[in-house]
Amino acid sequence: MLTLGLESEDVMPLLEEQLELHLECTHIEASSISATAKDAQLLHIAPGTPLLLMHFVPHDMLGRPLLYAEMRFRHDRFSYRTVIRR
């Protein structure tokens, strides 16, 4: 999947357009954690600083998980917007 440009592209359009996988839903979980020494080094913060941890698992039309993503965000640089349609 790295050859598809994941370093600079959103993975969802790549799954649908490049791999022709049809997404039914994405499970998202968010929680707060304290930065580990490795997190602190990568994010240029002090160990123990609060972080937002998010897990993403998109599922195809048959309910099969397609990938697992875990991301850690600095609490002072995170913004979230969404539009929910019914």
Integer Cα distance of 2 and 7 in angstroms:
7
pLDDT score at 8: 52
Cβ-based neighbour number of residue 7 at 10 Å: 6
Integer Cα distance of 15 and 25 in angstroms:
13
pLDDT score at 7: 54
pLDDT score at 72: 95
* Domain layout of the chain by residue ranges: 23-86
pTM given for the model: 0.72
Query: DSSP readout, 25-44?
Result: EEEEEEEEEE--HHHHHHHT
Range in 7-16, 41-50, 62-71 the model is least confident about? 7-16
Residues for the chain: how many in total?
86
pLDDT digit string, tens, across residues 31-61: 999 999 999 999 999 999 999 999 999 898 9
Q: So what's the architecture of 23-86 in CATH?
A: 3-Layer(aba) Sandwich (3.40)
